[in-house]
């Protein structure tokens, strides 16, 4: 079972920041997940929410701010004063960090277009990711099927996964042969636990933060999990290996 650091090691560092991603690399996770949005001046930044309110000392929508304005914000003190100098990273800064740390796992890039359309974000992200060879593998995911179709047209060889909540899998997912996996809410897994092993699609639920839930996911034979506490999950995974 793959362990993905959800927004980096976001249970122990400010989410979607360089410290969170650096910690995930140190832990030795199988994968790192992050979210991308587009600024007013068309720069790709890494942040989960469509506004800066929750994870910085600023207010307002990302789409209404330039990168320079966003770079002035404090993106760490909300989590702990120790991170008061932490800034909102661009996607380029994150991948450069992963290269510098010789990261060899998977980078999962979620395109956050389910609320803001961000026209052109797929082209901008793809242009960066295809600009060179990386030491890590990367793939894309989104709640937005149109976004997945656009990114697949740009990079037909790159893996794409559909993100969903607790509802049943939309029939369209099975019709789209380019979709190789789903990322459901963990509650969906508990509802469908008996059928998981027989699914053709890879299943990686979010967000699995309790020890007992990590163990249940291993027993259910999901492909992977997204967790805010990747070190804890990696420890459990290693302990399960030791029992076999």
Q: Please state, in angstroms and as integers, the Cα–Cα distance from residue 60 to each residue in 27, 54, 88, 111, 213, following that order.
A: 34, 10, 14, 20, 35
Find how far residue 10's CA is from the centre of its chain: 11
Q: Which of 6, 82, 152, 183 is labelled catalytic?
A: 6
Taking residues 2-15, what's their average pLDDT?
A: 98
Q: What's residue 93's pLDDT?
A: 99
Catalytic residue among 48, 82, 152, 183: 48
Average pLDDT over residues 28-44: 98
Sign of CA dihedral 138, 72, 25, 237: negative
Q: Does the annotation mark 48 as catalytic?
A: yes
Phi (first) and psi of residue 32, to 5 degrees: -125, 130
Q: Report the pLDDT value the prediction gives residue 34, as an integer from 0 to 100.
A: 99
pTM for this predicted structure: 0.97
Greater confidence (195 vs 6) lies with: 6
CA neighbours closer than 13 Å in the CB half-sphere of residue 70 = 27
6 assigned to active site: yes
pLDDT of residue 116: 97
Question: Is residue 84 over pLDDT 70?
Answer: yes
Q: What is the predicted pLDDT for the residue at 197?
A: 86
How far apart CA 167 and CA 144 sit, in angstroms, is: 15
User: What is the torsional sign of CA 193, 174, 198, 217?
Assistant: negative
Query: Which residues have a Cβ under 8 Å from the Cβ of 170 and sit 6 or more positions away?
Result: 145, 162, 164
* pLDDT of residue 244 exceeding 70: no
Three-state SS for 227?
A: strand
Alpha-carbon Rg for the chain, nearest whole angstrom, is 17
């Amino acid at each position: 079972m793959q362990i993905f650091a959800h927004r980096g090691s976001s249970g122990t560092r400010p989410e979607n920041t360089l410290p969170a991603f650096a910690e995930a690399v140190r832990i030795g996770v199988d994968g790192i997940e992050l979210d991308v949005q587009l600024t007013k001046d068309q720069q790709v930044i890494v942040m989960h929410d469509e506004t800066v309110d929750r994870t910085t000392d600023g207010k307002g929508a990302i789409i209404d701010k330039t990168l320079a304005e966003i770079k002035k914000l404090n993106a760490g003190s909300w989590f702990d004063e120790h991170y008061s100098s932490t800034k909102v990273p661009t996607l380029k800064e994150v991948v450069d960090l992963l290269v510098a740390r010789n990261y060899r796992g998977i980078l999962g890039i979620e395109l956050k277009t389910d609320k803001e359309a961000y026209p052109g974000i797929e082209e901008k992200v793809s242009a960066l990711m295809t600009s060179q060879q990386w030491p890590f593998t990367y793939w894309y995911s989104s709640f937005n099927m149109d976004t997945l179709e656009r990114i697949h047209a740009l990079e037909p060889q790159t893996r794409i996964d559909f993100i969903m909540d607790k509802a049943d899998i939309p029939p369209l997912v099975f019709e789209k042969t380019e979709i190789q996996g789903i990322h459901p809410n963990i509650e969906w897994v508990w509802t469908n636990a008996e059928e998981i092993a027989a699914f053709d699609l890879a299943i990686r639920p979010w967000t699995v933060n309790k020890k007992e839930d990590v163990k249940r996911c291993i027993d259910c034979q999901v492909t992977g999990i997204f967790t805010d506490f990747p070190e804890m999950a990696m420890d459990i995974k290693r302990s399960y290996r030791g029992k076999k």
